[in-house]
Amino acid sequence: QVQLVESGGGLVQAGGSLTLSCLAFGLTLSSLAMGWFRLAPGKQREFVATINWSGISTYYAVSVKGRFNVSRDNAKNTLYLQMNSLKPEDTAVYYCAAPRTQGILGRTRSDYAYWGQGTQVTVSS
């Protein structure tokens, strides 16, 4: 029984900030690489960021690099995505994702086995 629960989404004005959280149940994150993806209306699921098991290595989509920061607190079994300088183009449902085992710094949907229900982020102009 694995569950990933995202929270922290909401409505924010362009240029503002939000921090998303992903709390895992039934899965210990301390040994796993993790990812964030987003899905905007009418678009395909898009890779956002990934982080290795310890947090020392990260990788970002070009579209968010320099604005977003992915981090984790393994003691809390939680993944975070800090989003700054938000743009209307960032409007989407954001999902966290976990592999079945260790995993790579995956950038595609097939790299992950478990997905949360998502949290809505809406950026107004």
3-state helix, strand, coil in the chain (%, to 5): 10, 45, 45
Q: Model confidence over 78-91: pLDDT tens digits?
A: 999 999 999 999 99
Count of C-beta atoms within a 10 Å radius of residue 16: 14
Residues 27-32, mean pLDDT to the nearest whole number: 96
Q: Model confidence over 32-85: pLDDT tens digits?
A: 999 999 999 999 999 999 999 999 999 999 999 999 999 999 999 999 999 999
pLDDT surpasses 90 at 103: no
Residues 100-125, mean pLDDT to the nearest whole number: 95
